[in-house]
């Protein structure tokens, strides 16, 4: 099968995009295709697969699969890339439009020209904070803010936030000392998170700036995580480390995102999206 694709990334968090307005894929092929395209040796190399598809409820739809083939409900960097692709390829008319995700709909505004979108702002909607909806084991209606969390030898404090997908946020004094590679793979599969969890370590530089590292559910360490950056700013505000309603600069490995959380309202994410490669992926399923 020869599959047309475009590779785009949000701050080096890259995905292989297949445009289902132009090409059809069978549902059962999606998870194995995500694994195949993400492989840097036998595939194209990415953090996963994203489908751009027609939607009955929004101007365009997005589905996202991690590099292990698991499907996620949302993807912040992916949303900015979908918005860029949809506008540059005339899938949408206006520079502001809605995108359907498995977590619900979001509104995106592209910045740039029809020929080249440089940056995208996304209204990510309100975070979900009730423990049972993260989901995280424990008293259902409670929020999880700076709660004791033993991980191996590490005694940590966790703040849990869902942006449609689950995030466990930990504040550290020095980002370079964060137990990303030792505790990331353990916490992501911790049974206290029945659906697994994305794991973020944060060092606050001021009340408007932070360092950020992530171990993503289903993809491991990535260069950036848009929903994770949103969750990190929400967690900082819940812990009194950042203000409501003001843009916080999040320094991820792959670059900066600008995030604000309006009190009792939406989380807004602004950042770049770039296209790198397009072509045809020759795939013999099961080969
Ligand atoms: N690994 C995530 C999906 C990708 C999210 C991330 N790449 C982003 O930009 O938000 C999960 O399983 O929930």
- pLDDT string in tens for the chain (287-residue length): 999 999 999 999 999 999 999 999 999 999 999 999 999 999 999 999 999 999 999 999 999 999 999 999 999 999 999 999 999 999 999 999 999 999 999 999 999 999 999 999 999 999 999 999 999 999 888 999 999 999 988 899 999 999 999 999 999 999 999 999 999 999 999 999 999 999 999 999 999 999 999 999 999 999 999 999 999 999 999 999 999 999 999 999 999 999 999 999 999 999 999 999 999 999 998 76
- Global pTM reads 0.98
- CA angle (196, 198, 199) in 5-degree steps: 115
Measured from the CB, is residue 77 less than 6 Å from ligand 1? yes
> Of 273, 260, 185, whose CA–CA distance to 229 is shortest?
260
Structural domains present in the chain? 2-123+272-282 (3.10.310.10), 131-265 (3.10.310.10)
Specify whether the CB–CB gap between 200 and 193 falls below 8 A: no
Specify whether the CB–CB gap between 217 and 257 falls below 8 A: no
CA of 218 to the centre of ligand 1 (A): 8
Which residue's structure tokens are 């996202």? 64
**Ligand 1 pocket, mutate which of 188, 197, 227 (most atoms under 8 A from CB):** 227
Separation CA 278–CA 230 (nearest Å) = 29
CA of 160 to the centre of ligand 1 (A): 15
């Amino acid at each position: 099968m020869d599959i047309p694709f475009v590779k785009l990334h949000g701050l080096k968090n890259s995905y292989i995009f297949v445009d289902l307005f132009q090409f059809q894929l069978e549902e059962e092929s999606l998870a194995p295709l995500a694994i195949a395209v993400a492989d840097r040796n036998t595939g194209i190399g990415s953090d996963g697969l994203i489908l751009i598809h027609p939607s009955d409820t929004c101007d365009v739809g997005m589905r996202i699969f991690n590099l292990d083939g698991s499907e996620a409900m949302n993807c912040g960097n992916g949303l900015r890339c979908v918005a860029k692709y949809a506008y540059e390829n005339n899938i949408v008319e206006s520079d502001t439009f809605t995108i359907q995700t498995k977590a619900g709909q979001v509104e995106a505004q592209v910045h740039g020209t029809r020929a080249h979108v440089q940056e995208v702002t996304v209204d990510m909607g309100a975070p979900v904070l009730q423990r049972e909806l993260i989901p995280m084991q424990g008293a259902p209606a409670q929020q999880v803010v700076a709660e004791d969390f033993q991980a191996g030898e590490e005694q940590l404090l966790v703040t849990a936030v869902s942006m449609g997908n689950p995030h466990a946020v930990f504040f550290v004094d020095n980002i370079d000392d964060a137990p990303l590679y030792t505790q990331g793979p353990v916490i992501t599969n911790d049974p206290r998170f029945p659906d697994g969890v994305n794991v973020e370590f944060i060092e606050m530089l001021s009340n408007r700036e932070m360092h950020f590292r992530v171990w993503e559910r289903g993809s491991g360490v990535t260069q950036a995580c848009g929903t994770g950056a949103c969750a990190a700013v929400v967690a900082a505000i819940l812990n009194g480390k950042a203000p409501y309603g003001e843009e916080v600069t999040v320094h991820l490995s792959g670059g900066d995102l600008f995030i604000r959380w309006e009190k009792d309202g939406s989380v807004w994410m602004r950042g770049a999206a770039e296209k790198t490669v397009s072509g045809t992926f020759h795939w013999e399923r099961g080969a």
